[in-house]
Amino acid sequence: MQLKPKKQYHAPAYATRAILDAHPELLRLVPKRWQTNTLVLTAVAAAGLIVSTRWSGAESKQPAEPSHVAPLFEHGDGHAAFGCMAVSPPVFLTEDEARKVITEEAGKHGIHFTADKRTLNNIAVPLTDPFGAVYDKETKARLPSTQRASLALDGTDMAKHINYEFITEHDYQSWNRKEKPKSRMSIGSYDIIGAAHVLRDGIQQAHPAGAYAVFYDPITSLQGFRSQQQREESERAAHELARAELRKQVQDFIVWLKAEGVI
């Protein structure tokens, strides 16, 4: 075998004396007795390069933001029945009413919600049916039904990464199953609290970054009335009770956020 000299060399992957020649200020970091030893200076330069590379890699890997999904805080029945004269008419909160309660209570603790600033994609949301239920033929138990959809959150604090969704009567109707029921019963029901549990679980399964709460319409009902004036008074009382129950949901969420270390 005949040995031949290599005409070209690749640049070394380690630090060389040339680095120290170009940056003589680095010599102040090593003892004077080492400064004339080429082997030592090369080893020190290489070690510094390794440490620098590892440190840069550690800085570049930012930890993922954790996902905090609050449990459902149950204040208010969250059920409504309709279509029968014997049933007390349900009273629902409007989106604006609920938003005012939630933003006011959260604002007391430095949380400032802005509407419609974040959307979660491919979330398991409830598949509702006010005129029937899905049953397992063997156990006769109601099955949890979901569908995949995008969820435009009702409120987000962009700085603190805190979010909420409030389930209204309109939400419940929008998640209604597409198939028409074979027979329309004379009475129906809204299980808004059940839908809230399903949505909360759907958000948790998605593990989105940030903190999340699902609030729901407590749903109150009109009490006995005989005149229009009595009806109006009953409506005001029902709305006041519903707002109070929703406020309790938000207060529990604040306590939970503090316990989780989010705020």
**pLDDT greater than 50 at residue 205:** yes
Distance, in Å, from the CA atom of 203 to the CA atom of 154, rounded to the nearest integer, reads 14
Per-residue confidence (pLDDT) for residue 17, from 0 to 100: 56
Per-residue confidence (pLDDT) for residue 215, from 0 to 100: 98
Partner residues linked to 156 by β-bridges: 114, 163
Range of lowest pLDDT (30-34, 54-58, 137-141): 54-58
Region 222-229: what's the mean pLDDT? 71
Band (54; pLDDT cuts 50, 70, 90): very low
Distance, in Å, from the CA atom of 245 to the CA atom of 227, rounded to the nearest integer, reads 27
Contact present, 27 and 37 (Cβ < 8 Å): no
CB atoms within 10 A of CB 105: 18
Across 5-14, 24-33, 108-117, the highest mean pLDDT is recorded for: 108-117
Token couple for 196: 């809230």
Average pLDDT, the chain: 79
Partner residues linked to 69 by β-bridges: 212
Per-residue confidence (pLDDT) for residue 200, from 0 to 100: 96
Compare 238 and 214 and report the one with higher pLDDT: 214
Compare 12 and 208 and report the one with higher pLDDT: 208
Query: Model pTM greater than 0.85?
Result: no
Token couple for 183: 């027979």
**pLDDT greater than 90 at residue 22:** no
Cα–Cα separations (whole angstroms), residue 5 to 9, 13, 44, 207: 11, 21, 30, 60
**pLDDT greater than 90 at residue 136:** no
Per-residue confidence (pLDDT) for residue 50, from 0 to 100: 37
Distance, in Å, from the CA atom of 54 to the CA atom of 69, rounded to the nearest integer, reads 35
Q: Which residue has the tokens 């229009």?
A: 228
Distance, in Å, from the CA atom of 125 to the CA atom of 146, rounded to the nearest integer, reads 5
For 229, what's the count of Cα atoms within 13 Å in the CB-facing half-sphere? 0
